[in-house]
Structure 1
Amino acid sequence: MDAEPTSARIVRAFALGGVAVLLAGCATMPTHGEIRSVQGSQGVDSQVRVFGVPPADKAMPDEIVKGFLEAMTSDDPQLETARKYLTEGAAGSWKPGSTVTVLKSGLGRSQVTSEKDADGPRWKVTGEKLATVDERSAYQPEINGAKYEWVLQLVQENKQWRIANPPQSLVLSESDFQRIYMPVNKYYFAGSALVADPVYVRQRADPDSRMDPTTQTVQSLLSGPSNWLGPVVESSFPTGTELREGTKSLSYDGQNTLRVPLNEKAEHVTQPQCKKMATQLLYSVKDLTGSRLDQVELLHSDGKSSLCSVNDSTAATIAGRPRAPEYQYFVDNEKRLVRMKIDNASEDQQPKAEPVPGPLSTPAPFSISSAAVTYDERRAAVVSEDGHGLYVVQMSGVGPMPQGPVVTSKGAKATDTLTAPSWDAAGDLWVADRDPQHPGLWRVPGGVGTPEKVQVAGLNDRKIAALKASADGVRIALLLEENGRKTLWVGRIERPDAKTNAESVSVRELRPAAPQMADVTAMSWAPRGRLLVVGRESRGVVQARYMLADGSMVAASLPGAAGLAAIAAAVSEEESKPKPVVGYSSDGIVWLPPGAQWRTVAAGGQAPVYPG
């Protein structure tokens, strides 16, 4: 390994058996040629901490540039070492804050030689943008692989070369971003439903600057929802609510209670509003910490007296989450809608399919191709086998089948008819017509109202191949097909109200939900506002992965995804009784219980779904 200038080295600390071992990093970078690559960390290792090294005395301009770019990847949230590479004025004014530019790989750098600059040499840094993280810590994937470019101006200050114009955001490779930042959901209300708003916070604790993950999450929650979700959700916290002045960090007591002192803006809220505030906070921090948190107490601005508190059970009532499903549903070989008891998921007990109750338990006037069941499991929406009619049927009593469909399609081919339907927790029914002559997304209010055609901004000429409304009713996942390729997008559902000023229901601001995948086969909403996606990356194999709704990838993946043509996950967040993932493959209906392997539970069948 070639020796490098001190300014270009980074120090990495590894936790090994409680002993901190400091290693001087020695990056393998070219020392000759026009383009020089600043490599990101190799892989993601949460055990590794990276610290920048200050510039050497009389360091050359290329060493300053290289050292600064590496120092930006350090675990120092205040970037004190990176600032040492800047002029005094630039160091004082540089405030990248929480904004981050995420690149697919490291930065390329080259000296600008096309024109003479009297102030000093200039270096251009370039890369391919993967995503940006905005001032509200929200992740936004790049759709078209835009190029990143910034020109650094070097000047001499006190006979030392320094950078006068640092980038306006942190610039990190994907691996460095994943090492430094972690995803967490903060929660806001849409009506009575609690909605996950994914953001990224730094993983490393720095209590002196409020940079521990818990405090960051609370501060992000108080600052309000992301720009994308903001038009359709509300925070229960009064405008201007912040942590009590002087609060440096938040921690739990021996009873797993988090006490949060707020400023005077929260002094005069009612108890119901206060408990909604505490519910937002409990779910946001619990998403970060898992099961360690049992209760949240909000404190007055004196930091001592209580405003209100909520525990798990109280918050669950306020949050309006869908109840845990009792059954899993699919269409059997006889084209009937059937169900299986989920509790029969153990390997030594094979679940048995039974016809759903109500009119569908008797011979129906038509065969079924797909279905959706309401969250209370009292009604089903079924699409006829030819795909031309959508019917809503009670799953109780012995009443007759409905007289006619609520939505019809005139598509000539099976792929040009109705998609599988989907319910949201408000009881609205969604379906898309793939007929090239009359394409459209339809919403049936309450499952019984007059169907409304929903405008989808940015759909252009793409066809909706499949859809799934989120339980909270403010997002919809759309599988869009263009030139034989299917990609996954999430849109924001805007309804007529005083906040949106909308005249009708519409879907706005489509954004890619699985940009890493070249082709998507199937998808489903999953707990904590995530998506479970089956697809393949470019020149890759088929895989099933959990994705955040913002399009960033979650590490968890499922085994043996090849051959899956459909997939479904229960959105219930009952941690004590997690439900198996269900899929459809050539083997029939298959289940993947937590911690187990796929197993066939029904030979044949198709279109497996959970309520929703």
Structure 2
Amino acid sequence: MNGRGVRLVQGIVLASVGVVLAGCVGMPDSGGVSAVDKADKPGDRWARTVPVPPKKGDGASQIVAGYLETLRSDDLNYTTTRQYLTAEAREAFEPPTETTVLTSAPDTREADDVPRGDHAPEPKDSGVMKFRLSGHQIATLDAETGAYRPGVQEYESFVEVVKEKSGEWRISRVPGGGLVLSTKEFKRTYQEPVNTYYFTKREPEALVASPVYVRDQQVNPAAATTMAVAALVRGQGGMMAEIARSAFPANTTLAGRGAVVLEDQKLTVRLRLKTPPDRLTCRKMAAQLWYTVQNGFAARLSEVAVRAGGSQLCVLTEDAAGQYATERLTRADEHPRYYYIDDEQRLMRVPAGDGEAAVVSGPFQDGKAKIQSVAVSRDEEQVAAVAAGGGVLYSTGLGSSAVLGKPLLRSQAAPGGDPAVSGLTAPSWDGHGDLWVADRTAAGSVLYWSDGGTAVPRVVEVPGLGGDRIQALRVAAEGARIALVVADADGGRRLMLGGITRSGDRLRVQPLTEIAPQLEDVQAVSWAGDSRLAVVGRVGDGVDQVMFVETDGRLPEDRARELTVTGVSAVAASEDVSMPLVAISEQAGVVRLPVGSDWEKVASGGVAPVYPG
């Protein structure tokens, strides 16, 4: 047995038919609690954990281990879990409403802090035993909404086990924190997040992704799809409540069992509604369903039908769904190429696939205009550039007829400062053609927004920044989220995500939340998908490396994309995940990482790599 409370069943999903292989691993029959990280083996990612009831004669520590393991199993009714409890505890038991995520499996020992050896006997005369569960907590997951909330703190909870008249040990007091998982166990249980999609509150509307976590994606994809749709219909929370809205009317729910059916590329969803929506609203509801299911479960759809009360409310076809696609704003599929500034201060363009770098015609083709960073608009018709030294921002066209023109913005920083920490940051374009940049001065930092990249820049309020300073920024394509690298007074750099809200002419970044608090010394950030960022930073005492971070703060298992060369200072990624990562290495220059390949050298020298945006 793997632990005392579960049996692992390896599942391979083929054409929706599960081919199941059974297997189990032994554990000592006595001694202290063994914390098991079942996700250490690659095959365990698709493993189904079947709960196993307590065995007659199990010691107190084995009862605790078994109870914890059944919570992690795929028995979401918790029938077996209750068998580990006393009658009173069974009566009071409620399914976990949250998941606590620790860096590793919880350390479990007797409450007197005396560790028990693997084969130490249980006290024979004791009728009550207490155990302490502890670990380093990095996040919680809300069971109802599926929302992941980063937050570093020390976790501690207690469990009490009593010997009943039958002579068997049972739990009388369950530990707090709900389902307690290590990061590896979390990965096995939830796999990748599923993006649910909502409409931005700003006009024109665009879909924005909100990741949620559902169980059984591999073993029971139909159940996982239903859970994801239920989370979407329930509505957005947290930051998404500030920046986005749902087309689903309030109090909408799924219409019982079988409410979500995916068959022959057709998704049918039956709802309970108080009032039927109008046709446009219904089509927007269908669009939210379309991209949640198609992007979250790699399900190629041909249509989505929304039904309620026995009637069909609307049908959305593939052509009609295209008008809501996030690619309309990212335009990554239209322009699969990236840019950088070469050693001669020229703006270079490189195809994302095979191909050589070429000089871009326009005001930055000859190196006379000394620049330190650039941002190319998503339609590749405009370019913004910060002059060497960080004192001036230009915004102009791309092409042989474009001229540099007058500065769009001048920094208020004192001349002669270090351009890495003073003056204007690298700019960024959203998918609506608006330009964003921050100015770093001795007094702090100021965020600016320019309508169309040509209007006089206006100050954007960032009330959650306090005395910290913006060092780098990247705005999302839909213009409702902004990723910031923020430095504190001691020079420490961390990653933050803000929601962009609008009230008349007033723009604010609120709320502003630190994500991935386990990351240290963050140097650069770039959008790498609808809800994923690529960053340069390090974890703990590790080395600086390029890694992925979800917008909710989770570091995916594939985060460690460590360069084989040192001195990584910048990274560029595309929202099209098929495009290569691009980075600047101190030793190798401009390098790129195609999907499924190794790092390749692009140029010996260069700075400021960017994809359009």
Q: Distance in 1 between matches of 2:104 and 2:301?
A: 37
CA contact (8 A) 1:29 1:39 kept: no
Q: Distance in 1 between matches of 2:177 and 2:445?
A: 43
Q: Distance in 2 between matches of 1:132 and 1:352?
A: 45
Matched, 1:441 2:451: no
Q: Distance in 1 between matches of 2:29 and 2:467?
A: 45
Deviations along 1:249-273, whole A, 9 cap, x unmatched? x34222x1111111234x6212221
Q: Distance in 2 between matches of 1:469 and 1:149?
A: 38
CA contact (8 A) 1:9 1:25 kept: no
Q: Distance in 2 between matches of 1:569 and 1:228?
A: 24
Matched, 1:194 2:198: no
CA contact (8 A) 1:206 1:212 kept: no
3-state secondary structure, aligned to 1:372: strand
Q: Distance in 1 between matches of 2:217 and 2:356?
A: 46
Residue 567 of structure 1: CA displacement? 1.8
TM-score normalised by length of structure 2: 0.84
Task: Note the residue ranges of structure 1 that are not aligned, 5 or more in a row.
Answer: none
Q: Distance in 2 between matches of 1:570 and 1:16?
A: 32
Q: Which residue of 1 aligns with 2:223?
A: 212
Residue 377 of structure 1: CA displacement? 1.8
Q: Which residue of 2 aligns with 1:86?
A: 85
Residue 360 of structure 1: CA displacement? 4.6
CA separation of 1:7 and 1:518: change in aligned 2, threshold 3 A: closer
Deviations along 1:489-530, whole A, 9 cap, x unmatched? 222223226xxxx954234232224x4433334321012321
Matched, 1:454 2:460: yes
Within-5 A mapping of 1:383-422: 383-395=386-398, 398=401, 400-411=403-414, 412-413=416-417, 414-415=419-420, 416-422=422-428
Q: Which residue of 1 aligns with 2:570?
A: 566
Residue 236 of structure 1: CA displacement? 0.7
Matched, 1:68 2:57: no
After TM superposition, the structure 1 stretch with the greater mean CA deviation from structure 2, 211-220 or 196-205, is: 196-205
Task: Note the residue ranges of structure 2 that are not aligned, 5 or more in a row.
Answer: 114-125
Residue 138 of structure 1: CA displacement? 0.9
1:309 partner amino acid = V
CA separation of 1:517 and 1:438: change in aligned 2, threshold 3 A: closer
CA contact (8 A) 1:7 1:59 kept: no
Q: Which residue of 2 aligns with 1:277?
A: 285
In the alignment, which of 167, 173, 186 is matched to residue 182 of structure 2?
A: 173
Residue 238 of structure 1: CA displacement? 0.8
CA contact (8 A) 1:38 1:70 kept: no
Within-5 A mapping of 1:499-518: 504-513=507-516, 515-518=517-520
In the alignment, which of 425, 433, 440 is matched to residue 427 of structure 1?
A: 433
2:546 partner amino acid = A
1:12 partner amino acid = L
CA contact (8 A) 1:457 1:510 kept: no
Within-5 A mapping of 1:123-142: 123-134=131-142, 135-142=144-151
TM-score normalised by length of structure 1: 0.85
Q: Distance in 2 between matches of 1:334 and 1:63?
A: 68
Q: Which residue of 2 aligns with 1:12?
A: 8
Within-5 A mapping of 1:535-546: 535-546=537-548
Q: Which residue of 2 aligns with 1:355?
A: 360
Give me the CA root mean square deviation. 3.2
1:11 partner amino acid = R
Q: Which residue of 1 aligns with 2:529?
A: 527
Within-5 A mapping of 1:485-500: 485-496=492-503
Residue 71 of structure 1: CA displacement? 1.8
Aligned residues: 577
3-state secondary structure, aligned to 1:553: coil
Q: Distance in 2 between matches of 1:568 and 1:352?
A: 16
Q: Distance in 1 between matches of 2:52 and 2:547?
A: 37
1:470 partner amino acid = A
Deviations along 1:469-488, whole A, 9 cap, x unmatched? 11122221112234454332
CA contact (8 A) 2:536 2:544 kept: yes
Q: Distance in 2 between matches of 1:238 and 1:151?
A: 42
3-state secondary structure, aligned to 1:26: coil
Within-5 A mapping of 1:261-276: 261-265=270-274, 268-276=276-284
In the alignment, which of 371, 381, 404 is matched to residue 378 of structure 1?
A: 381
Q: Distance in 2 between matches of 1:16 and 1:275?
A: 36
2:378 partner amino acid = Y
1:306 partner amino acid = Q
CA separation of 1:356 and 1:223: change in aligned 2, threshold 3 A: farther
3-state secondary structure, aligned to 1:137: coil
Q: Which residue of 2 aligns with 1:229?
A: 240
CA separation of 1:109 and 1:29: change in aligned 2, threshold 3 A: farther
After TM superposition, the structure 1 stretch with the greater mean CA deviation from structure 2, 535-544 or 71-80, is: 535-544
Q: Distance in 1 between matches of 2:29 and 2:105?
A: 11
1:40 partner amino acid = D
Residue 48 of structure 1: CA displacement? 2.5
In the alignment, which of 126, 142, 154 is matched to residue 147 of structure 1?
A: 154
CA separation of 1:337 and 1:494: change in aligned 2, threshold 3 A: same
Q: Distance in 1 between matches of 2:12 and 2:280?
A: 48
After TM superposition, the structure 1 stretch with the greater mean CA deviation from structure 2, 472-481 or 157-166, is: 157-166
Q: Which residue of 2 aligns with 1:582?
A: 582
Q: Distance in 2 between matches of 1:206 and 1:397?
A: 56
Q: Distance in 1 between matches of 2:24 and 2:588?
A: 53
Q: Distance in 2 between matches of 1:306 and 1:73?
A: 39
CA contact (8 A) 1:197 1:226 kept: no
Q: Distance in 2 between matches of 1:520 and 1:163?
A: 44
CA contact (8 A) 1:286 1:292 kept: yes
Q: Distance in 2 between matches of 1:205 and 1:333?
A: 48
Q: Distance in 1 between matches of 2:263 and 2:30?
A: 51
CA separation of 1:55 and 1:341: change in aligned 2, threshold 3 A: closer
Residue 58 of structure 1: CA displacement? 6.1
Q: Distance in 1 between matches of 2:230 and 2:12?
A: 32
Q: Distance in 2 between matches of 1:465 and 1:29?
A: 56
